[in-house]
Every structure is written in structure tokens, then in C-alpha cells.
Amino acid sequence: MDMKRAYYEDIELFKSGVIIFWTISLMIVLFTIPLYASNYYLYLFNLIMVHVIIAVGLNILVGSTGQISLGHAGFFAIGAYATVLLMTKLQVPFFAAIIIAAFISAFFGFILGLPALRLEGPYLTIATLAFGLAIMHIIGHTDIFGGRTGLMAPPLDVGVPKLGWSWILKTDVSKYYLILIFTIIMVLVAINILKTKAGRAFVAIRDSDIAAEVIGINLTIYKTLSFAVSAFYAGIAGGLFAFVLGFFDPVTFNLLLSIYFLVMIVVGGLGSVMGSITGAAFITYLMYALFKNVREVPYLGSFLVTISERWLTITGLDNMSAIALGLVMIGIMLFEPLGIFGAWIRVKKYWKTWPF
């Protein structure tokens, strides 16, 4: 809606003072959350931020480049396993381990990007789906990866223990800040990627890959790059997730998780970083907290329990949480095909001409 007079205006990070103001306010809120939120919410926030990182990465692939992936749980698993194994088996410091893990994940993303050069639509979906499932079973089969029993994450030492400089993050608060910093960096990087030549090439490929090739975009490079970048994000997210949960087994990274990741960006808004963030936060919250404690809500709780026992099955109330999640998703798709981000644009547009 705004006029652009120069190239720089198109790529600058903060387009107006209003945006700077709200960004700073948001940062202040995020950095002070541990002061007033209990540990339970910090765990939830940690999960949300991990999901934000992976959703932002997935949106670069799906929303911006137009390639689909149902295998992101696989990259997520690679990140988690590689980080933990590098730290426990090779005593690599945490920061190095998580970055190496993300590069390993990116390498697998590159490999998976190769068939994407020839496959499209449902065929690509099947190829990525197979990748996600294969990773889960390869890990389950291999003893060094902990097999099906799973792995325990080591203490989160952000120092360099080999040099005798160790700094172990034990509390949820310290993990929260670590993940918050990672999230901010990864989101900034994503916003910037989309404003570079590579980002515009991704969008061109999404809109029409033939046209993109005609204007000189190397499809081989940019499609595989998109997969690699997206997998890198998933790798970082996986490395952090390992420490949020503390324990994981191959089944943790199942197909359903890949689908949830996709749901996050579709509900949030395809092709937008803000959409990924809101989508990840919204869906994670619904998955983990919606209706979970409905039994303990005064009056309403006992009312619902009675209804559930009288008219539904014994687990009727528990299934309501899944049903509510589904209904919210359907509702958003029906009323807001562009997702939460689309709703936001609409609200913004509506108020722009207010009160006319």
C-alpha cells in the first residue's frame, strides 16, 4: 500500500517509526516474560519458539518457493540427533554442535532437493514423505543413534567444556533466553533472505518455474538451495528441541509432526514470515494447551464432563480438544484462506480508512 521511491525502501527492515515502536515493545515483552510467567508457560514458549524457527524455514520452502515437503520431521530429527550425538560422543561444544547439525540437515535438504527438480505436486509430496519416514526408521534401526529406545539429552553446556570453561544452562529461564536469541536471529535472517536475489528467485520459481528459468534463474541451484535453507532451519530447531524436551525417540518425529508443521504455515499464512510466526504460536498453543485443563475450569468443567459422560464416550472430552483444533483450522481456511496473516492484512486495511 505504501509507495516505494527507492530500492532501499523496499528492502529496509523497519518501514516506519510505528513498526520500530511495536517491534521494540514486543522485544521488551519477550525479554521480560520470565519475570511473570511460570515455568510451565516457559516450556510452552520454548516449544513455540522451536516451532517458529521450523515454520519460518518451512515457509521459505513451501510459501516462497512453492515446493511442498512432508518430510520436515526428518530434518527436525536430524538436527536433534546430530546435536546431541556430537555433544555426547565427540564432546563438541553446544554452539558448534548445533551449527554442524544444521549443516548436516541442510546437506540432506540439498539431497532431497535434487528429485524436486523433476518432481512436482503430489509426486514431490510422496518423495518428501518417504524421506521423513525413512529417517525415522533408519534412526530406529541404528544402535549408535539410540535405536528405538531413544536418547537422553546431555546437560545444556553453552561453554567449551574441553577448555575448562563450562556454563551449564539448567533452568527453563536460561533455556528460554537461549532459544529466544536463536529465534530472533533466525527470523531476521529469513526476512533478509526473502529480500535478496535468492529470495526473489524463490518467489519467481513459485509463480512459474519456466518463466523463472527464461529470465535466467538457475533452477537447479535455487530449488536445492531452498530445500537446504529450509532444512537448515529445521536442523537448528531440532537441536534446540532436544534440550527443551530432554528425551526423544524416533517416534517423536513421526509423520503427524510433519503435517502439523505444514498446518502451522498454512494457518499462519503462506509466504510470509509473520504468518509463520503467528501460525506456529497459535497451533502449538492449541496442540498443547487447548481444553487440556477444561475439567478444572469452574462450573463449565463439570458441565462438560456430565455432557461427555451422558452423550459421548468416556474419552469424549479429550477428543473435544482434537475436534476443537480441527474446527479452528477449518474455520480459518473457510473464512481466511490467506491464514492469520491474511486476517491481519484485512484488519489493517479496514482501520486504515477508518472512520470512513
Partner 1 sequence: MVQELNFKKRGEDANVYIGNKLVSPRITGICKFNKRQISSINKKGGEKAMDLRRIRVVMIVSLFALFMFAYDGQAKQETGFDDKEIRVGQWGPQTGPAAAWGNVARGSKLVFDIVNDEGGIAGRKIKYFIRDDQYNPSQAVAGVRELVEKQGIFAFVGGVSTASCSAVQGYLLEKEIIWISPCTGAATFYKPFNPYLWNMWPSYENDASVIAKFAIEKKKFKKIAMFYQNDGYGLDSLDSVKYRLSKKNMELVAAIPVEPIESDLSSQIQKLKASGAEAVIAFVGPKQAAIAVKTSVSLDFKTQWMFSYNLSDYEMMNKITDGLWAKEGVITSAFTQEPFAKNELTAKYTAAVKKYAPTERWSIFYMAGVVVAEPLVQVLKKVGKNLSTKAVADELNKIKNFQGVGPKVTWTATNHMGPKSVQIWQCGPKGEIITLQKWTENEISRD
- Among 116, 74, 126, smallest CA distance to 258 is for 74
Q: Least Å distance between CB 274 and partner 1?
A: 15
Q: Could you give phi then psi for residue 3, rounded to 5 degrees?
A: -80, 140
- Closer of 113 and 275 to partner 1 (Cβ): 275
Q: Considering only residues 236-265, where is the footprint of partner 1 by CB under 8 A?
A: 244-249, 251-252
- CB neighbourhood size of 156 (10 A): 19
What stretches of 142-270 show up as alpha helix (H) in DSSP? 172-193, 197-207, 209-214, 219-245, 255-268
- Report the distance separating Cα 203 and Cα 195, nearest Å: 10
Q: Least Å distance between CB 315 and partner 1?
A: 5
> Could you say whether residue 290 binds partner 1 (CB under 8 A)?
yes
Q: Least Å distance between CB 65 and partner 1?
A: 24
Please report, as a single letter, which amino acid is at residue 183: T
Among 141, 162, 195, 197, binds partner 1 (CB under 8 A): 141
For residue 262, CA distances in Å to 57, 244, 265, 281, 356 come to 11, 21, 6, 13, 38
- Among 67, 89, 51, smallest CA distance to 224 is for 67
> Could you say whether residue 88 binds partner 1 (CB under 8 A)?
no
Q: Using the Cα atoms of residue 136, residue 142, residue 144 and residue 146 in order, give the sign of their dihedral.
A: positive
- Which one of the spans 87-95, 100-108, 157-165, 345-353 is the region binding partner 1 (CB under 8 A)? 345-353
Query: Chain centroid to CA 73: how far?
Result: 10
- Which one of the spans 99-107, 110-118, 178-186, 319-327 is the region binding partner 1 (CB under 8 A)? 319-327
Task: Give the contact letters, 35-64, x = binds to partner 1 (CB under 8 A), - = no.
Answer: ---xxx--xx--x-----------------
Task: Give the contact letters, 144-173, x = binds to partner 1 (CB under 8 A), - = no.
Answer: ---xxxx-x---------------------
Binding site for partner 1 (CB under 8 A): 1-3, 38-40, 43-44, 47, 137, 140-141, 147-150, 152, 244-249, 251-252, 282, 285-297, 309, 313-315, 318-319, 321-322, 328, 331-332, 335-336, 343, 346-347, 350, 352-353, 356
